[in-house]
Amino acid sequence: MFNRAIGFAPNGTYWRLLRKVASSHLFAPRKISAHEPARDLECTSMLNDIRKEQSLHGFVVLRKHLQDASLNNIMEIVFGKSYNKVGDDVDESMELQEMVREGFELLGAFNWCDHLPWLNYFYDPFRIKERCMVLVPKVKKFVKKIINEHKLRGSVNLHDRSDFVDVLLSLDGQDNLSEEDMVAVLWRVIIFYENVFRDPERFIVSAGGSSVDIRGNDLRLAPLGAGRRVCPGMNLGMVTVSEWVAKLVHQFEWVQDMGRPVDLTEVLKLSCEMKQPLCTKVIPRK
Ligand code: HEM
């Protein structure tokens, strides 16, 4: 499934088609602004959940809130479906979260067999092959169900807020994708989005870091990659991160919980993460 997804497809006609479709239908500036209301709603709901957790437990573990909000946000953009509304299917949402977690872990796991293919037959300490064989059919079933729901709705006239499934279904002629390809493309976009939040501390200018263009022009810091495979979702990612971080800081004062001090140790998976998720107290600003 993965070699048909945008992030893994080899450079060539198929990959160029995916980049073209993604940049004109998913990441175009007017598309990004059309999703502003949904982004705001997701952020407001995240801020409320953070407030609730603080009053319930006396501290907040931030990662889960950011992950839920970003997954909901990308579900809205890609599948036209958010799990953030009352009465949403809780089981489906849990199933999706579990699949994303497992997919993200498998993509980030170090696999000896990628480097020494002959090991494949007898050495797989993290059970990567076996876990992929369990995950892939689940992903296919989940995404195909959503594609079918779109097909049942019938053809739609594309507009700025059309979701990505509508866009892929509307491609015709040479650009038309098979259902298997659509599953691979849609799933990959969802998984990539989980990359969004990374530790920025060491690059803050006032903390002794230097100001660097992060869009792939300066390889001292290229969180979005560089060159022809540079992240196509860069503008959407930047808008979301800046808006949400601004609101988090605007709404709350962030105070270290002395019982759970901030630990900036990193661990490298698909992205570079804090080994111990940030746990902090938040004080709502008046
Ligand atoms: C601030 C947030 C983001 C960061 C830090 C980030 C990071 C990256 C990086 C480092 C790459 C290059 C991987 C490589 O060289 O193989 C990449 C590629 C990619 N990203 Fe992002 N990304 C972000 C946001 C997004 C968003 C919002 C989406 C989609 C909704 C997305 C979709 C993709 C895709 C599809 C590729 C593969 C492109 C290709 O191979 O042609 N990213 N991203």
Helix axes 62-79, 234-251, angle to 10 degrees: 140
Residue nearest to ligand 1 atom 26, measured at CA:
233
Lowest mean pLDDT among 54-68, 77-91, 218-232, 255-269: 77-91
Report, as an integer, the average pLDDT of 67-81.
90
Burial of 18 (0-12, 13-18, 19+ CB in 10 A): buried
Distance CA 254, CA 62 (A): 11
Select from 163, 196, 161, 195 the least CA-distant residue to 182: 163
Residues 237/196, Cβ–Cβ less than 8 Å:
yes
Residue 243 has pLDDT above 70, yes or no: yes
pLDDT of res. 26: 87
pLDDT one-digit tens code per residue, 201-219: 667 777 777 778 888 888 7
Report, as an integer, the average pLDDT of 269-276.
84
Distance CA 46, CA 84 (A): 10
Report, as an integer, the average pLDDT of 18-24.
90
Q: How far is the CA of 230 from the centre of ligand 1 (A)?
A: 7
Higher pLDDT, 220 or 199: 220
The letter for the amino acid at 40 is D
Higher pLDDT, 245 or 211: 245
pLDDT one-digit tens code per residue, 98-123: 998 888 888 877 666 676 676 666 66
| CB half-sphere exposure, 188, CA atoms < 13 A | 21
The residue range of the domain holding 267 is 2-284
Report, as an integer, the average pLDDT of 13-21.
90
Domain count of the chain? 1
Q: Residues of the chain with pLDDT > 90: what percent?
A: 40
pLDDT of res. 124: 72
Ligand 1 pocket by C-beta < 6 Å: which residues?
A: 6-7, 19, 74, 188-189, 192-193, 195-196, 198, 223-225, 229, 231-233, 236-237, 241
Report, as an integer, the average pLDDT of 51-77.
94
pLDDT of res. 66: 95
Burial of 91 (0-12, 13-18, 19+ CB in 10 A): exposed
pLDDT of res. 106: 84
Phi, psi of 265 (to 5 degrees): -60, 135
pLDDT band at 162 (very low <50, low <70, confident <90, very high): confident
Q: How far is the CA of 90 from the centre of ligand 1 (A)?
A: 28
Ligand 1 atom at minimal distance to the Cα of residue 230: 12
Q: What CATH number is attached to the domain comprising 166? A: 1.10.630.10
Report, as an integer, the average pLDDT of 67-86.
85
**β-bridge pairing 252-256 and 279-284:** antiparallel
- Hey, which of 29-38, 120-129, 154-163, 260-269 has the most confident mean pLDDT? 29-38
The rounded mean pLDDT for the chain is 85
pLDDT of res. 198: 52
Higher pLDDT, 128 or 250: 250
Residue nearest to ligand 1 atom 9, measured at CA:
224
Q: How far is the CA of 194 from the centre of ligand 1 (A)?
A: 9
Q: Residues of the chain with pLDDT > 70: what percent?
A: 87
DSSP code at position 172: -
Select from 96, 78, 86 the least CA-distant residue to 45: 86
Residue 84 has pLDDT above 80, yes or no: no
pLDDT of res. 10: 86
Task: Identify which of 19, 192, 214, 272 to mutate to test ligand 1's pocket (most ligand atoms within 8 A of the CB).
Answer: 192
